[in-house]
Amino acid sequence: MSRFATRCPNCGAPIVFAWSQSVQTVCPHCRSLVVRHDVDLRALGLVAAAPPDISPIQLGTHGRFEGRAFEVVGRIAYEYEDGGWNEWHIVFDDGESGWLSDAQAEYAISRAAQPPKALPSRSELEVGRRFRFEGREYVTTTVTWANYAAVEGELPFITWDRTRTAFADLKTTSGHFATIDYSEDPPLLFLGRFAEVEELALTNLREFPGGLAESAVRGFNCSACGAAIALRAAQLTANVACPACGTIVSPHDPDLRVLQEAAARQAHAPKIPLGTRGTLDGQPWEVIGFQYRTITVEDEVYGWDEYLLLNPYHGFRYLSEYQGHWNVIRSLKQLPVGDLTTTALYDGRRFRRFQAATATTRVVYGEFPWQVRAGDTVKTTDFISPPLMLSREGEGTDETWSLGAYTPGQTIWTGFSLPGTPPRAIGVFANQPSPYAGRPRVFWTIFALLAFVWLALVGGRFLLAGRRIVFEGRYAFTPAATTVAPPAEDAAAFVTPEFEVPGDLANLEVRAEAPGLDNDWLSLAIALVNVETGSALDSGIELSYYAGVEDGERWTEGSRTASLMLPEVPRGKYLLRIDPAGGVAGRRIDYSVRVRRDVPRLFYPLLALGLLAIPPLLASRHALGFESRRWEESSDEDDE
């Protein structure tokens, strides 16, 4: 970058133009506005000193953006009703100039662009109006009336006029932004993109060695109670609420005009005192503001605390706390997409609408970059995708979006070195991550895997089981006619011939069949006796079969076959002792008995599947229970 050195026409101090196309600069010694006409310089007069601020950027700051190095060579400080922002004039190493916007520590790089067609006049421009520039769709989000508050360094045009003019901010869903500047006719268009401070790799920044409190540019006394008020966020502060009495005053008014008397008794004390410094996400933050807000749902009032945190390099963060549940919240530069009624899409995540309500600010302490009063109301809509929550405040033409991340109370307590322990979390919060999230899916996947293995094994077992017939016999039984004296017990008992049971320890199936059984029953008391050891397994089989016609419909009941499974039968010589009993006296029942070795069973494979399903079923139940408790807290005033 070629530099042009000369002397101030007013005081003679050396002046260096870092950018060859600079039209004006401000003498760093006498604050004369020096206008350049080729090599001639003319001092137009003295300019006001830049308002105090906490911007970390200064003339001479270096950075990088999209692969190009730049240097900050000038600055325009704008002021508007609620505060101010900086437009830093930057010059890239290839000679192109651009602007680094620093609005409440939200950074964006832009350059002048040629609109594809004439831009609308100020009176025609409305919030919400859409434009298409360079292939991207922009939506107008705010229109701000502002004027130059001060200038520093080199600028590509002459700034002297302090007339209030309109600036329209436009955003896209991809993090790009545009500004329509109505300070000239036709209006100017600037296109750019938001950038995080880390991305800009800024060097030669201002330092805040003592923290914000010590660098506070002003301290004053409350107009109402006289308590000391430290102004930490300088020109970013739109109003400040006295931490002692809650009276809201305008810090930019020389008379410290009272904007709002203290609201009744502000008995709601913040859990984190104003001025507390701490660390969140690896960055230092200072608590500069606090408000207590409420919503009313079905006549129940729900209130939460909201802390405003400031880091001069990273801007503002908000910390909300409701019944021990904490969220770290940041404003969004990129607009969510979707229908924004039931769902919102942001950064690849789908958020479900959780709640819509009207929030009322009840208590205010400290500084805020926007106008805030006790009693302010705003419509809020929350969309959740745990552990994140998208919140929209306001509606239609004046809405802002923020993104909250659920944060454990202990993280807050540790980060801010607070004494004691954080308040216990009560209930389930909207975006609280479920401790069961994902577990049912993992468990059911494991279940499917195990079931597949098991079914393959069981299938193999059913295919390969021996089912070898080791005994078969046919018998007949005629129940005795009823006499005065009942027949002796076991009178019909008999034993079968011995048979060999081969193989290792396995089961034996005894199956009885009586094909001619008709409206009768047969009971067989069966003992499998090991003739070598004298041990026996006692059991029985019962057959019954009934049929008939009732109301013209035929019915049957029971079965003519039944089986019995004898477990853990070792190899050896066996016989069966069979003791039959029957129903209809005098009617002969023909039946057969068959014994098979190694017959697969279905009960235990099914029992195994049942046991395997218990953990995933419990996990699903817990997960559903947690979600049910979460959505119990959902309310929607639109649905009322």
Partner 1 sequence: MVRSLLYLVFGFAVLGSMAAIEQRGWALWGPTRVEGVPRTLRDNPGAYRPHYRSSPRYFGGK
Q: Considering only residues 473 through 502, tell me which ones interact with partner 1, judged by CB under 8 A.
A: 479, 488-491, 493-495
Tokens (6 digits) for 40: 């001639």
Minimum Å gap between C-beta 114 and partner 1 is 56
How far lies 355's CA from each of 129, 292, 295, 335, 381, in Å? Answer: 27, 19, 11, 19, 6
Which residues, numbered 295-354, are part of the site for partner 1 (CB under 8 A)?
none
User: What is each CA distance from 230 to 49, 79, 218, in whole angstroms?
Assistant: 22, 21, 6
- Asked if 138 is part of the footprint of partner 1 (rule: CB under 8 A), the reply reads no
DSSP E strands: which ranges in 172-208?
A: 176-181, 188-195
How far apart are CB 579 and partner 1 at their closest, in Å?
7
Q: Within positions 608 to 627, which residues make up the interface with partner 1, using CB under 8 A? A: 608, 611-612, 615-616
Going by C-alpha positions, the residue among 549, 557, 494 that lies closest to residue 520 is 557
Structure tokens given for 46:
């003295």
Q: Which stretch binds partner 1 (CB under 8 A): 80-88, 195-203, 400-408, 594-602?
A: 594-602
To the nearest whole angstrom, how small is the minimum distance from the Cβ of residue 588 to partner 1?
16
Cα–Cα distance, 138 to 127 (Å, whole number): 11
Based on CB atoms, which residue is closest to partner 1, 145 or 555?
Answer: 555
How near is the Cβ of 496 to partner 1 at its closest, in Å? 10
DSSP secondary structure, 436-465, as one string: TTTHHHHHHHHHHHHHHHHHHHHHHHHHH-
Out of 62, 122, 577, 622, the residue judged to bind partner 1 by CB under 8 A: 577
| C-alpha–C-alpha distance, residues 274 and 183, integer Å | 39
Distance CA 501, CA 489 (A): 30
The yes or no reply on residue 11 touching partner 1 (CB under 8 A) is no
CA gap 368, 231 in Å, rounded: 10
Binding window for partner 1 (CB under 8 A); candidates: 83-91, 117-125, 156-164, 557-565: 557-565
Stretch touching partner 1 by CB under 8 A, among 233-241, 256-264, 411-419, 504-512:
504-512
Binding segment for partner 1 (CB under 8 A), chosen from 211-219, 291-299, 375-383, 553-561, is 553-561
CB 605 within 8 A of CB 454: yes
Binding to partner 1 in span 387-446, by CB under 8 A:
439, 442-443, 446
* Residue 508 in the binding site for partner 1 (CB under 8 A): yes
Task: Find the binding residues for partner 1 in span 511-550 (CB under 8 A).
Answer: 519, 521, 523-529, 531, 533-540, 542, 544, 546, 548, 550
Distance (Å, rounded) from C-alpha 387 to C-alpha 378? 24
Among the residue ranges 43-51, 110-118, 274-282, 580-588, the one whose residues contact partner 1 (CB under 8 A): 580-588
- Asked if residue 505 binds partner 1 (CB under 8 A), the reply is yes
Choose between 272 and 517: whose C-beta lies nearer to partner 1.
517
Residue 575 within binding range of partner 1, rule CB under 8 A: yes
Strands 635-636, 349-368: pairing kind: parallel
Site for partner 1 contains 507 (CB under 8 A):
yes
Tell me which residue of 595, 599, 594, 567 sits closest to 501, measured CA to CA: 595
Report in angstroms how near the CB of residue 527 gets to partner 1 at its nearest.
Answer: 5
How would you classify residue 178: left for phi > 0, otherwise alpha for psi between -120 and 50, otherwise beta? beta
Q: What whole-number distance in Å separates Cα of residue 163 and Cα of residue 73?
A: 24
Rounded to a whole number of angstroms, the minimum distance from the CB of residue 329 to partner 1 is: 30
Instruction: Please report the sign of the dihedral spanned by the C-alpha atoms of residue 158, residue 162, residue 166, residue 172.
Output: positive
201 versus 456: smaller Cβ distance to partner 1: 456
Tell me which residues in 142-171 interact with partner 1 (CB under 8 A): none
| 228-257 positions binding partner 1, by CB under 8 A | none
- In the bound state with partner 1, the residue whose beta carbon lies nearer, of 208 and 546, is 546
| Least Cβ distance, residue 352 to partner 1 (angstroms) | 26
CA distance 26 to 38: 16
Query: Site map for partner 1, 436-475, x if CB under 8 A?
Result: ---x--xx--xx--x--xx--x---x--------------
Measure the CA–CA gap between 388 and 374, rounded to whole angstroms: 28
Binding segment (CB under 8 A) for partner 1, from list 74-82, 155-163, 381-389, 597-605? 597-605
Q: Are 106 and 194 in contact (CB under 8 A)?
A: yes
Per rule CB under 8 A, is residue 557 in the interface with partner 1? yes
- Give the total of residues touching partner 1 (CB under 8 A): 71
134 binds partner 1 (CB under 8 A): no
Task: State the nearest-atom distance from the C-beta of 495 to partner 1, in Å.
Answer: 5
Nearer to partner 1, 39 or 611 (CB): 611
Query: Locate tokens 């960055």: which residue?
Result: 283
Helix (H, G, I), strand (E, B) or coil at 349: strand
118 part of the interface to partner 1, by CB under 8 A: no
* 116 versus 570: smaller Cβ distance to partner 1: 570
Could you tell me the CA-to-CA distances from 584 to 21, 415, 518, 632 in Å, in that order?
A: 120, 88, 10, 65
CA distance linking residue 305 with residue 359, whole number of Å:
12
Task: Report the nearest approach of partner 1 to the CB of residue 581 (Å).
Answer: 5
Nearer to partner 1, 335 or 514 (CB): 514
Tell the smallest beta-carbon distance from residue 590 to partner 1 (Å): 18
Nearest to 428 by CA among 393, 386, 466: 386
Q: Which is nearer to partner 1, 219 or 548 (CB)?
A: 548
Handedness of CA 513, 516, 521, 527 (dihedral sign): negative
H or E, element range at 622: helix 603-632
- Find the helix packing angle between 439-464 and 603-632, rounded to 10°: 170
